[in-house]
Chains A and B, each alone.
Chain A
């Protein structure tokens, strides 16, 4: 099939960006979206033009490196799918596709479709862990964990940290990302000791990083490639509220 692409090109964080139009010919419906961009990049390279920069690594939907706005939708039209797992069979011959980087104050553009998501790492550093050191831990079966809790914790822990939730949110909020980690650890006995301190620390960091607040649009849940539920945001609010009332 033949496609017309409008791709956001921006040489660096400081430069101004703009959409540039490209024709993509000979695209097979079996290609992934990133393989389609590979083909375009090979053609650009052959013409001596700079290829389009985009983050990607595992191409199996698990590392969370890739992500772009495709026709205004984070990760494109397929639900529960990261960009690398999006296949061209969802598009048809003659389609025009608009491709942009994640748009959020907290995610400055590095180049073209590449953004800086290090704010998410700093949210984890603000308490998204269980503070145990290596060694001296009790036997893995010492504390039984009800299967229901373990399964729900796993639903939250499935987050790949891609940032689609932030990009999809009209407020640029990182609430789903933060809530997923607070819930994952808060649902397990191992995470109880620091449960409230964690909620306070991570939410405070989220604000410091200039993410917006959550007003329950629900766009994050729709965009999430792992289909993480906004129910976890309610859990985060509950832990945060309780922590705020009892702190000090």
Chain B
């Protein structure tokens, strides 16, 4: 089968594309909707919003999550905020500006039409969340408050203290529980998707494992939606939740869904630095802190004085120096690389010299401690709990860490993958952020996809598809079930000596070393040798305790790491193939004289879509060319 990446972007001026498309899409009439079953995997902002909305529209929905409750999906950990082009601040914001900032912020590697739609529906999201009772921050007059975020010169970020993701997710979860109570959604918590069932070329169901009883079973449907998040945990240490994994999208990839731009990963500049070998995850300190915190390192390498003893003249506020117009609010990729650069020069601070200061001294002086406490109190507390240092007294120490993956399954304008009937939403798809995501845009995209896009486009798919019923004992169903059982048995039966944890750590070390903040052709080639060798050892020397018929967290982890082992290789291959620097993908060989990312638009202005070609076969690259008709291609500058 030859794959063609057809974006299916509607014709006409960009402002009218979505409205026109909504009119041109076929509808399913209300009485017929209940005859369709839609599976939604993942209950974060994207999946939860889609499940609740599809049920409200009248579809039968089956929703799945691996956590014990849909309320715990990793969207909950987002701190800073959600963007929307409301222009409530009267500071010159507009849909066009949000669109422009996002395309530019993504370093011109996103699809314009999708980004424009995202900016359009951003305003509806805020209205929706307010109506649900999301307690956004307010001004004294009762109107919604905004803050600034990186990569933008307007204040368009809505927030709920440092817990915006939590509050948006609870709004979404409550809508989902409402639909569960009404009977429109059947919820399967502690249930993990382990494969996709494809019948006659269309996604018709999934195979799951009940994580308490170990029961492996098939669920059939008319369409499948994956809202299963990103794959940052391929690096072992990341800001992702421990359970976040790529299994659902990777299994779909192996069943025919093209994987787009796997090497586009975001390294977030402000995380608490690594403290020791035992470390199990990294903790983000919200980007919103850069509104009031100033980033600096000592001017001189090897300056070991305590931060408060270093006078102003000996400090280098390097973001303000290098990027005067955006300063501490430079986009994430740029701020991360700048931090790495000063640490490479030996000017890093803290144990191991991998850290920079984020200092609130000046804002506390200017605004008073109470204001800072009100804005960031919970973040300061979290920092103190982890590091045992009081950020009101001494500057925070921060360092970049893996945070988000812009790559994901390829989708068209309807958010449908290359497998008809398989839709992919939120971080799990590749569509809106190009090579770098701006702060406060992940929550926006998750909810845009889940509340306002996929519930409509899925109707168009169902109205056009002529779907025959699939029997429980269809050969494809039986075959997929058998494949999952065999794989589970294989993981349990290796009987080796090494734990999953140790393999995962080693994979993470390889990826951080060679496919992290700075990448070289040589390094990537080394990784492409080390990863298959590690994978070979994994399948020969892994030890998974316990059985498949019980709650077995080691088995769950082993299955996820097995998939990361394959995905890691594809990421390195994609990074090697993309011989340019753009956004979070920085190839050392391709930089401007002053060390900024250097794109090669004539050769690489495309989405790299990788097709799985079978075990042991080289994946096949398909290209979706990107054209920029509304935002002129230019070298990104935040100076």
Q: Does A87 contact B (CB under 8 A)?
A: yes
Q: How far is the CA of A44 from the CA of B136 in the complex (A)?
A: 46
Per-residue interface assignment for chain A, residues 79 to 105, with 1 indicating a CB less than 8 Å from any chain B CB and 0 otherwise:
011000101010000000000000000
Q: How far is the CA of A118 from the CA of B187 in the complex (A)?
A: 11
Whether B177 contacts A129 by the Cβ 8 Å rule is yes
Whether B278 contacts A31 by the Cβ 8 Å rule is yes
Query: Which of A57, A157, A161 is B242 in contact with, Cβ under 8 Å?
Result: A57
Whether A31 contacts B276 by the Cβ 8 Å rule is yes
Whether B77 contacts A111 by the Cβ 8 Å rule is no
With a cutoff of 8 Å between Cβ atoms, the chain A residues found around residue B284 in the complex are 60
Q: How far is the CA of A132 from the CA of B52 in the complex (A)?
A: 11
Tell me the residues in window 147-202 of chain A with beta carbons closer than 8 Å to chain B beta carbons: 147, 150-151, 153-154, 157-158, 160-161, 184-185, 188, 190-191
With a cutoff of 8 Å between Cβ atoms, the chain B residues found around residue A135 in the complex are 124, 128, 451-452
Per-residue interface assignment for chain B, residues 141 to 154, with 1 indicating a CB less than 8 Å from any chain A CB and 0 otherwise:
11110000000000
Per-residue interface assignment for chain A, residues 43 to 56, with 1 indicating a CB less than 8 Å from any chain B CB and 0 otherwise:
01110111101011
Whether A111 contacts B76 by the Cβ 8 Å rule is no
Q: Does A3 contact B (CB under 8 A)?
A: no
Tell me the residues in window 546-573 of chain B with beta carbons closer than 8 Å to chain A beta carbons: 546, 550-551, 553-554
Min CB distance, A138 to chain B, in Å?
Answer: 7
Q: How far is the CA of A139 from the CA of B253 in the complex (A)?
A: 40
Tell me the residues in window 23-66 of chain A with beta carbons closer than 8 Å to chain B beta carbons: 28, 30-32, 34-35, 38-39, 42, 44-46, 48-51, 53, 55-65
Min CB distance, B567 to chain A, in Å?
Answer: 20
Residue of B nearest to A27 (CB): B278
Residue of A nearest to B190 (CB): A110
Q: How far is the CA of A117 from the CA of B68 in the complex (A)?
A: 8
Q: How far is the CA of A126 from the CA of B550 in the complex (A)?
A: 31
Q: Does B140 contact A (CB under 8 A)?
A: yes
Known: A53-B553, A57-B67, A58-B77. A124 touches B242 (CB 8 A): no
Min CB distance, B1 to chain A, in Å?
Answer: 36
Whether B68 contacts A118 by the Cβ 8 Å rule is yes
With a cutoff of 8 Å between Cβ atoms, the chain B residues found around residue A117 in the complex are 68-69
Whether B280 contacts A125 by the Cβ 8 Å rule is no
Query: Which of B128, B177, B243, B551 is A121 in contact with, Cβ under 8 Å?
Result: B177
With a cutoff of 8 Å between Cβ atoms, the chain A residues found around residue B127 in the complex are 137-140
Residue of A nearest to B547 (CB): A50
Whether A129 contacts B132 by the Cβ 8 Å rule is yes
Min CB distance, B139 to chain A, in Å?
Answer: 7
Query: Which of A35, A144, A191 is B133 in contact with, Cβ under 8 Å?
Result: A191
Q: How far is the CA of A116 from the CA of B551 in the complex (A)?
A: 12
Which one of B189, B278, B283, B451 has the highest number of Cβ atoms from chain A below 10 Å of its Cβ? B278
Q: Does B509 contact A (CB under 8 A)?
A: no
Q: Does B135 contact A (CB under 8 A)?
A: yes
Q: Does B321 contact A (CB under 8 A)?
A: no
With a cutoff of 8 Å between Cβ atoms, the chain B residues found around residue A134 in the complex are 49, 52-53, 56, 128, 175, 451-452, 455
Whether A140 contacts B130 by the Cβ 8 Å rule is yes
With a cutoff of 8 Å between Cβ atoms, the chain A residues found around residue B173 in the complex are 124
The stretch of B162-170, B296-304, B326-334 that contacts the partner chain = B162-170
Tell me the residues in window 186-243 of chain B with beta carbons closer than 8 Å to chain A beta carbons: 187, 189, 212, 241-243
Min CB distance, A75 to chain B, in Å?
Answer: 12
Q: Does B501 contact A (CB under 8 A)?
A: yes
User: What bracket does the count of chain B residues touching chain A fall in?
Assistant: 35 or more
Whether B546 contacts A50 by the Cβ 8 Å rule is yes
Min CB distance, B625 to chain A, in Å?
Answer: 34
Min CB distance, B190 to chain A, in Å?
Answer: 8
Known: A53-B553, A137-B131, A146-B138. A38 touches B278 (CB 8 A): yes
Q: Does B486 contact A (CB under 8 A)?
A: no
With a cutoff of 8 Å between Cβ atoms, the chain B residues found around residue A137 in the complex are 124, 127-128, 130-131
Whether B132 contacts A130 by the Cβ 8 Å rule is yes
Known: A85-B385, A116-B68, A124-B177. A140 touches B74 (CB 8 A): no
Whether A28 contacts B278 by the Cβ 8 Å rule is yes
Give how many A residues have a beta carbon under 8 Å from the other chain's beta carbons: 78
With a cutoff of 8 Å between Cβ atoms, the chain B residues found around residue A31 in the complex are 276, 278
Min CB distance, B19 to chain A, in Å?
Answer: 14
With a cutoff of 8 Å between Cβ atoms, the chain A residues found around residue B280 in the complex are 32, 34-35, 38, 59
Query: Which of A45, A55, A129, A146 is B68 in contact with, Cβ under 8 Å?
Result: A55
Whether A42 contacts B69 by the Cβ 8 Å rule is no
Q: Does B386 contact A (CB under 8 A)?
A: yes
Q: Does A244 contact B (CB under 8 A)?
A: no
Residue of B nearest to A114 (CB): B551
Min CB distance, B549 to chain A, in Å?
Answer: 10
Q: Does A141 contact B (CB under 8 A)?
A: yes
Q: How far is the CA of A186 from the CA of B380 in the complex (A)?
A: 29
Q: How far is the CA of A129 from the CA of B56 in the complex (A)?
A: 14
Query: Which of A30, A60, A124 is B382 in contact with, Cβ under 8 Å?
Result: A60
With a cutoff of 8 Å between Cβ atoms, the chain B residues found around residue A78 in the complex are 385
Whether A62 contacts B76 by the Cβ 8 Å rule is yes
With a cutoff of 8 Å between Cβ atoms, the chain A residues found around residue B455 in the complex are 134
Known: A58-B241, A190-B130. A128 touches B385 (CB 8 A): no
Q: How far is the CA of A150 from the CA of B159 in the complex (A)?
A: 12
Min CB distance, A201 to chain B, in Å?
Answer: 9
Q: How far is the CA of A80 from the CA of B280 in the complex (A)?
A: 22
Q: How far is the CA of A216 from the CA of B174 in the complex (A)?
A: 27
Tell me the residues in window 481-521 of chain B with beta carbons closer than 8 Å to chain A beta carbons: 499, 501-502
With a cutoff of 8 Å between Cβ atoms, the chain A residues found around residue B501 in the complex are 38, 42, 45
Whether B67 contacts A62 by the Cβ 8 Å rule is no
Q: Does B279 contact A (CB under 8 A)?
A: yes
Per-residue interface assignment for chain B, residues 97 to 130, with 1 indicating a CB less than 8 Å from any chain A CB and 0 otherwise:
0000000000000000000000000001011111
Q: How far is the CA of A109 from the CA of B139 in the complex (A)?
A: 45
Q: Does A234 contact B (CB under 8 A)?
A: no
Q: How far is the CA of A150 from the CA of B175 in the complex (A)?
A: 20
Whether B189 contacts A118 by the Cβ 8 Å rule is yes
Known: A87-B385, A129-B178, A188-B135. A62 touches B278 (CB 8 A): no
Whether A129 contacts B278 by the Cβ 8 Å rule is no
Query: Which of A12, A28, A154 is B135 in contact with, Cβ under 8 Å?
Result: A154
Query: Which of A39, A58, A145, A154 is B76 in contact with, Cβ under 8 Å?
Result: A58
With a cutoff of 8 Å between Cβ atoms, the chain A residues found around residue B543 in the complex are 45, 48
With a cutoff of 8 Å between Cβ atoms, the chain A residues found around residue B275 in the complex are 30
Min CB distance, A147 to chain B, in Å?
Answer: 5
With a cutoff of 8 Å between Cβ atoms, the chain A residues found around residue B133 in the complex are 129-130, 153, 184-185, 188, 190-191
- A-B CB contact pairs (8 Å), 13 listed: A45-B545, A45-B554, A53-B553, A63-B72, A64-B72, A111-B212, A114-B551, A117-B69, A124-B173, A132-B128, A134-B451, A144-B138, A185-B133
Binding site for A on B (CB under 8 A): 49, 52-53, 56, 67-72, 74, 76-77, 86, 88, 124, 126-133, 135-144, 158, 160-161, 163, 165-167, 170, 173-175, 177-178, 180-181, 187, 189, 212, 241-243, 275-276, 278-281, 283-284, 381-382, 385-386, 388, 451-452, 455, 499, 501-502, 543, 545-546, 550-551, 553-554
Q: Which 4 A-B pairs have the closest CB atoms?
A: A144-B142, A129-B174, A137-B131, A125-B181
Binding site for B on A (CB under 8 A): 11-12, 28, 30-32, 34-35, 38-39, 42, 44-46, 48-51, 53, 55-65, 78, 80-81, 85, 87, 89, 110-111, 114, 116-118, 120-121, 124-126, 128-135, 137-141, 143-147, 150-151, 153-154, 157-158, 160-161, 184-185, 188, 190-191
